[in-house]
């Protein structure tokens, strides 16, 4: 008998309290913030946390009146100390779930274990193809005809956690990386919202690596 984890209904108390981790532009964060604002997502963003104080997404958070927290990696002597400070920001804001949105660091086992099945990520490829950086460029240079977007739970590997949702996107003949990235990004914004909603609603089952939602 395979051991299964059955998520409660709802998965966390609603409206859920979200922490968003980002390192850059923050367009996925903005899409989540908008979905919280309109009520499409039964959630609110309680903290936007960045390892890079100069990340444009932090400025956006401030403009939206959200709590922006810079936890500058350069100010910490080790990865452990840095992650402990990131965890402190999550706990201090009583976040139920962490959404990685262009967060460019691998989280280590102590952090991931502490927030097991409470961290989601979005990746611009159909995992396990093209993990890591520049997934769109990897797909173009491999010459694939189809790539896509993946939302997954985070483990301590590089884009290796259990898959929550995927959507395929065809690569057009001769399409360059910028054009493909822009098309993928529109799918990312939609898929992150819809799959996060399904996770929050609960009732899904994780068996080994496989996440099953009952419709």
Please give the positions annotated as active site: 123
7 or 153: CB nearest ligand GRF:
153
Edge to edge, the sheet with strand 43-50 lists 4-6, 205-207, 210-212, 163-170, 146-153, 119-123, 97-100, 16-22, 43-50, 68-70
Smallest gap from residue 25 Cβ to ligand GRF (A): 4
Per CB under 6 A, residues contacting ligand GRF are 22, 24-28, 57, 101-102, 122-124, 185, 188
Q: What is the DSSP letter of 51?
A: S
Beta bridge partners of 99: 20, 120
Residue closest to ligand GRF, measured at CB: 102
Smallest gap from residue 154 Cβ to ligand GRF (A): 11
7 or 36: CB nearest ligand GRF:
36
96 or 159: CB nearest ligand GRF:
159
- Report the C-alpha gap between 156 and 113 in whole angstroms: 9
Q: Give the gyration radius of the chain's Cα atoms.
A: 17
Contact assessment for residue 21 and residue 101, using Cβ atoms and an 8 Å cutoff: yes
Beta bridge partners of 170: 146
Contact assessment for residue 18 and residue 28, using Cβ atoms and an 8 Å cutoff: no
22 or 127: CB nearest ligand GRF:
22
């Amino acid at each position: 008998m395979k051991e299964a984890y059955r998520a409660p209904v709802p998965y966390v108390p609603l409206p859920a309290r979200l922490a968003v981790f980002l390192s850059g532009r923050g367009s996925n964060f903005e899409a989540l913030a908008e979905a919280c604002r309109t009520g499409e997502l039964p959630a609110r963003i309680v903290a936007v946390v960045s390892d890079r104080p100069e990340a444009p997404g932090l400025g956006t958070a401030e403009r939206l009146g959200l709590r922006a927290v810079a936890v500058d990696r350069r100010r910490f002597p080790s990865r452990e100390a840095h992650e402990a400070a990131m965890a402190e920001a999550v706990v201090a804001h009583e976040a139920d779930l962490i959404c990685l949105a262009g967060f460019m660091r691998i989280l280590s086992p102590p952090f991931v274990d502490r927030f097991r099945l409470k961290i989601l990520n979005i990746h611009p490829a159909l995992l396990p193809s093209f993990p890591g950086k520049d997934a769109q460029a990897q797909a173009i240079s491999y010459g694939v005809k189809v790539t896509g977007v993946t939302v997954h739970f985070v483990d301590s590997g590089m884009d290796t956690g259990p898959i929550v949702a995927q959507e395929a996107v065809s690569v057009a003949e001769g399409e360059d990386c910028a054009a493909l990235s822009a098309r993928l990004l529109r799918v990312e914004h939609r898929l992150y919202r819809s799959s996060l909603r399904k996770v929050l609603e609960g009732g899904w089952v994780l068996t080994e690596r496989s996440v099953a939602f009952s419709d």
